[in-house]
Amino acid sequence: MADNADRATDLAQQHVDTSLASRTWIGVDWARAECEECGDEIPAARREAAPWARTCIECQSIREQRGRHVR
């Protein structure tokens, strides 16, 4: 039989699950169309797959080679 702590944990998890389920993800709204490094357009497929991306694939590769992993 569940004790009060178990019931409280279950209730808290239900609140978290409900909040997350009702929240709309806003990542697409702030997806950048242009690379912040070179100014070229970030391909739509990259923006869809990684809406937080701030650089094109080529500039991101350069950043990673230089050790500048910045989001």
pLDDT given for residue 24 in this prediction: 56
- Residue 3 in tokens: 């004790």
Residue 54 lies in a domain: yes
Task: Give the total number of structural domains in the chain.
Answer: 1
Q: Tell me how far CA of residue 53 lies from CA of 3, 29, 33, 41, 62, in angstroms.
A: 46, 13, 9, 12, 14
Residue type for 37, please? Answer: E
pLDDT given for residue 68 in this prediction: 64
Residue 41 lies in a domain: yes
Q: What is the pLDDT along the chain (71 residues), one digit of tens a residue?
A: 679 988 889 889 998 888 777 665 554 445 678 999 999 999 999 988 888 889 999 999 999 998 866 55
Domain around 38 = 25-71
Residues 6+ apart with CB under 8 A from 10: 2
Reading phi first (left if > 0) and then psi (alpha if -120 to 50, else beta), residue 67 is in left
